[in-house]
Amino acid sequence: MLGCLPAIVRHVRRVSNTHHFATLTSGFTAVTNDYLRRRLGGLASLLGDAEFRRLAEEGYFEPGNLHARSRDLWQYLDGVAGMDRRASDEGAARRLASDLVDLTGKSDFADLRGEIDRLVSYLDSAYPGKKDPPDVQVLKGHCREWEAECLWGYFGWDPEYVHHLRLGFYTGDIFTEEPTEKRDVPPIVDLLKEVRPDVVSLAFDPEASGPDTHYKVMQALNAAIERYRAETGSPPLRVWGYRNVWCRFHPAEANIYVPVSLNMFSVMQSAFDNTFISQRDASFPSWEHDGPFSDLAQKIQVEQYRMVKTCLGREWFHEHPSPRIRATRGLVFLKEMDVEEFGGHTRRLRRAAEDR
């Protein structure tokens, strides 16, 4: 999100554009036991409230209630806007209640409280890094998926436009499986057929430059795009590759340069702080920065701006006729490719990995 957000925000502002956001893995390994324990404690404290009981009587927490999932989101963001911690906590607790009902099949509040106690007992006894049982993995994954919905809700997109594919190669093992054509590609193909995108963006990180998940998602997405085009004969689409905090483009590798202003830095920091709560104190921060990843992303984008300013000269920016360029204090680097170039790149990476 941090490597591409300024670019996406520019396109979100045009109402003629439609965006869909896909999380291909749930990211449950990034959720700490302490964070989930706090979320469960917040839910437990609200289960006795009259408002929660009224919502339960209306079927608010029943699985498949898409309207309620949108209400969770807007409740949370209203609380963020009003600096009302209780209101935002209530939105998050509502979603966790729905997820817990869906996971356990229990909707009675007394039963839910028992499930919360059981989960907290497990979290109290588990050591950091332990592979969690499946139900805890799922619940941690729901926490990360909720955060993704909150992020894109910042810009007006409700959960209908945020898709959680939960690809099967992501297991929580130290060495995860490779994506497979049979298991991991079809969900992406189905989403491509549903959305029929003009542009697909992804983290364009080579293997071993950061989380291995990015490389494996790249391989699965390439296979899905090839199958999608073969099955539908769709018009050519473009691929935008971005890089996150673990790997960077050299200016010569990128071909789209997105200006980032101080205003956009403020938006990025606020969005990260208020949506990716589980990542504000990440368990495995970058070797470059012991603090929020949003700080490191800003540092990288400022460095990229300085490189380009050295090439073009400060006058090009400071005396430019466009106020948007004069306001530039950072740059996002993107690499735009057609599907043939993208496919060639991913195949070369796979061959290099297999030859080791």
pLDDT, tens digit (0-9, with 9 covering 90-100), for 1-19: 788 899 999 888 888 889 9
Burial of 46 (0-12, 13-18, 19+ CB in 10 A): middle
Q: Work out the number of other CB atoms within 10 angstroms of the CB of residue 138.
A: 16
Kindly give, in sequence order, each residue whose CB lies less than 8 Å from that of residue 39, ignoring residues fewer than 6 positions away: 92, 93, 96, 143
Closest CA to 95 of 72, 70, 79: 72
Residue 9: strand, helix, or coil = helix
Give the pLDDT score at 208.
Answer: 56
Q: Work out the number of other CB atoms within 10 angstroms of the CB of residue 20.
A: 16
Give the pLDDT score at 245.
Answer: 78
**What are phi and psi for residue 343, nearest 5 degrees?**
-65, -40
| Token pair recorded at residue 308 | 């380009």
Q: Report yes or no: 254 and 217 within 8 Å, Cβ to Cβ.
A: no
Residues 115 and 74: their CA atoms lie apart, in Å, by 27
Q: Report yes or no: 115 and 104 within 8 Å, Cβ to Cβ.
A: yes
On the CB side of 80, CA atoms within 13 Å amount to 20
**Region 134-157: what's the mean pLDDT?**
95
Give the pLDDT score at 351.
Answer: 79
What's the CA dihedral at 302, 304, 310, 311 to 10 degrees? -150
In the predicted model, what is the mean pLDDT of the chain?
A: 91
Residues 52 and 242: their CA atoms lie apart, in Å, by 42
The pTM of the full predicted model, rounded to 2 decimals, is: 0.91
In percent, how much of the chain has pLDDT > 70? 94
Alpha helices (runs of H) in 126-211, residue ranges in sequence order:
134-153, 185-195
Give the pLDDT score at 209.
Answer: 57
Burial of 319 (0-12, 13-18, 19+ CB in 10 A): exposed
Q: Report yes or no: 75 and 87 within 8 Å, Cβ to Cβ.
A: yes
What are the distances in angstroms from CA 67 to CA 49, 130, 210, 267? Answer: 21, 36, 37, 27
Considering only residues 268 and 283, tell me which one the structure prediction assigns the higher pLDDT: 268
Residues 189-234 pLDDT 10s: 999 999 999 999 999 886 655 568 888 999 999 999 999 999 998 8
Ramachandran assignment for 59, one of left (phi > 0), alpha (psi -120 to 50 degrees), beta (any other) = left
Considering only residues 313 and 206, tell me which one the structure prediction assigns the higher pLDDT: 313
For the chain, counts of helices (H) and of strands (E): 14, 6
In percent, how much of the chain has pLDDT > 90? 76
Handedness of CA 187, 190, 195, 201 (dihedral sign): positive
Closest CA to 300 of 199, 230, 218, 210: 210
Kindly give, in sequence order, each residue whose CB lies less than 8 Å from that of residue 107, ignoring residues fewer than 6 positions away: 56, 61, 62, 101
Query: What are the structural domains of the chain?
Result: 1-25+165-356 (3.40.50), 28-150 (no CATH)
pLDDT band at 173; cut points 50, 70, 90: confident
